[in-house]
Every structure is written in structure tokens, then in C-alpha cells.
Amino acid sequence: MYQPSPSPSQQPHQPPTPTQAQAALQQTLCRLLHFTPEDLQWNRQGALSPAQRRRFERRRARVNVYLYLGLGLIVSGVLTISVQGITHIVPPQLALA
């Protein structure tokens, strides 16, 4: 008795080979961690890829801006206190206590 072969959608699911599973895992990790295969090649040689270097420099520049703003606020606060004296900030009743 003749039985037609099942269509691709009806064929039983075959588990991926170890190579296919490793490739799928690597692709998923690359997407999640914002890596490309080019990045991995550079990293395996102990260097950052050009794209990684640009991202790192942008991030470092942003951190520097926040650092300088924070230090500026601290310095201006210290200067304000030293020029005006502590009694302008803390009421005299508490300053003497």
C-alpha cells in the first residue's frame, strides 16, 4: 500500500546537531549582549573591535561628564558654605547644641 511522504510541516521534529545548537546559542548570546561575530574575532585576539571601541569611548565620555558635574556641585557647595558660613545653613540654635 502506497503512503505519501509527509510534507515538511508534518515531518517529526529532529533535534539539532551539537554544531547547530552551538551556533544557535552563539547567535542568541550575540544578540543579547550586543556582539557581532566580528567582535568575537577581535576579542579572541585580545583587542576591542572598532565598533566596541566607539561604544566604549562614548560611554566613557558620558561618565566623565557626570563626574565633572558632580564634582562641580560638590565644590560649589563647599565654597558656598565656606563663604557664607555654616550659620546660614544650620540655624544658630542647632549649631550651638
pLDDT tens string 25-39: 988 988 998 888 899
Please state whether the predicted TM-score (pTM) of the whole model is above 0.75. Answer: no
pLDDT of 42 > 80? The answer is yes
Distance CA 66, CA 64 (A): 5
Q: What is the pLDDT of residue 64?
A: 92
Distance CA 51, CA 41 (A): 12
Mean pLDDT of 41-46: 92
pLDDT of 11 > 80? The answer is no
In the block, residue with C-alpha cell 566613557: 60
Per cent of the chain over pLDDT 70 is 73
Q: What one-character DSSP code corresponds to residue 76? A: H
Are 39 and 52 within 8 A, CB to CB? yes
